Amino acid sequence: MRYVIIGAGAIGGTIGGRLFQGGHDVVLVARGEHARALRDEGLRLVTPQGTDTLRIPVVSEPGELRLTPDDVLMLCVKTQGTQAALDTWAYAPVEGGGTAAGRLPLVCAQNAVENERLALRRFARVYGMCVWLPSTHLEPGVVVAYGTPLSGMFHIGRYPHGLDETARRIAADLSGHAFAAYPDEKVMRWKYAKLLTNLLNAYDAVCGDPAGTEKIGALVRAEGAAVLDAAGIEYASVDEQRARRGDRVTAVDIPGAVANRSSSWQSLARGSGSIEADYLNGEISLLGRLHGVPTPANDVLHRLANEFARDRRPPGSLSLQDLMSAIDAAASPV
């Protein structure tokens, strides 16, 4: 199988780079300055073991690549970029006839739980993948992966549920070099569990004060668990996640590299103008409104993260006191 990595940022660059190092056929999809750096200088993959420069083929559009029936499309963009990526790739022609949407597997190697639903409107074969992979992408051509002894851990299965040989083969390929990957017929229970963890991303982005991490984390997770329970949505427990991960993936500092931060913090640091909050804290806001469960902490972080991204405010520029005041006001409306 050849892996076409749509979105060669922190997650996609690490997955693509590690697969390439393991001897697999890989194509990276990137645009702008990042694409130019990848083409001219190669992917610089920085890990606790050192820095490797990888000369991986790079394209920016489907027209630059001849898709074959053996290709796997791995979607690694943030959720706010998913629809545009689907628009671009769904109807790309495949060698022998047909289109990508009808013939190729699409793996959603992304946070949040909306990507698979969006993809299933276009693609006949959609796979969910829960991603545990501490990494950053702040500089064109450079990806930093902090995990050791493994770079990351994944669960993969058909969406909405089930397993097949493709899922097992992808898991085996990922497990062959620097990752652990597990086929799972109920992959979305892992993705919903990861959603609860990712609710703290917006806090890291807008405030990030270590003094409030435990308190804010408890607030947003309690609201998230309450709405998932109200909606009857299954999710893996904290103990189950901890047992599965064990000491396989531990994020460590890398000399000369920025400290590991959330994907939402990275969006603000790059001044991208967008952030994933609509599909993280916003997912909890949505479910809370559908099921009559108040979610003030998530609502506030959802709103603030979008404001920060829109106004290109620097990450961490909101005080913990101001954030707590906003959450208290939302929890006690007049």
| Spans of all domains in the chain | 2-185, 197-233+259-331
What backbone torsions phi and psi does residue 193 show, to the nearest 5 degrees? Answer: -65, -40
| pLDDT value at residue 112 | 97
**CA-based nearest residue to 134, from 28, 250, 237:** 250
**CA-based nearest residue to 106, from 208, 213, 29, 53:** 29
- What spatial distance separates the first Cα and last Cα of the chain, rounded to whole Å? 58
CATH 2.30.30.60 is held by the domain 197-233+259-331: no
pLDDT digits (tens, 9 = 90+) for 136-155: 999 999 999 999 999 999 99
- Regions of the chain short of the pLDDT cut 50: none
CA distances to 283, 285, 316 from 210, in Å: 25, 24, 11
pLDDT digits (tens, 9 = 90+) for 239-275: 999 999 889 999 999 999 999 999 999 999 999 999 9
Q: 2-185: what fold?
A: Rossmann fold (3.40.50)
**CA-based nearest residue to 163, from 178, 145, 184:** 184
| Contacts for 3 with CB less than 8 Å, ≥ 6 apart | 15, 16, 19, 24, 25, 26, 27, 71, 72, 74, 173
List for the chain the helix, strand, coil content (%; round to 5): 45, 20, 35
**Token reading at 318:** 């909101």
Strands (E), 165-314: 179-183, 249-251
The Cα 136–Cα 175 span in angstroms is 21
| pLDDT value at residue 334 | 61
Is 2-185's fold the same as 197-233+259-331's? Answer: no
From the number of C-beta atoms within 10 Å of its C-beta (0-12, 13-18, 19+), residue 254 rates as: buried
| pLDDT value at residue 332 | 87
- Measured at the alpha carbon of residue 185, what is the angle toward residues 291 and 152, in degrees to the nearest 5? 95
pTM given for the model: 0.95
**6 in Cβ contact with 89 (< 8 Å):** yes
| Residue 217 CB coordination number (10 Å) | 17
Strands (E), 120-233: 126-132, 135-139, 142-145, 147-149, 152-158, 179-183
The Cα 199–Cα 35 span in angstroms is 30
Q: Which helix (H) or strand (E) holds 44?
A: strand 43-47
**300 in Cβ contact with 323 (< 8 Å):** yes
Mean pLDDT computed over every residue of the chain: 96
**186 in Cβ contact with 159 (< 8 Å):** no
Cα torsion angle, 37, 42, 46, 47, sign: positive
HSE of 145 in the Cβ direction (CA atoms, 13 Å)?
A: 31
**174 in Cβ contact with 181 (< 8 Å):** yes
pLDDT digits (tens, 9 = 90+) for 159-186: 999 999 999 999 999 998 899 999 999 9
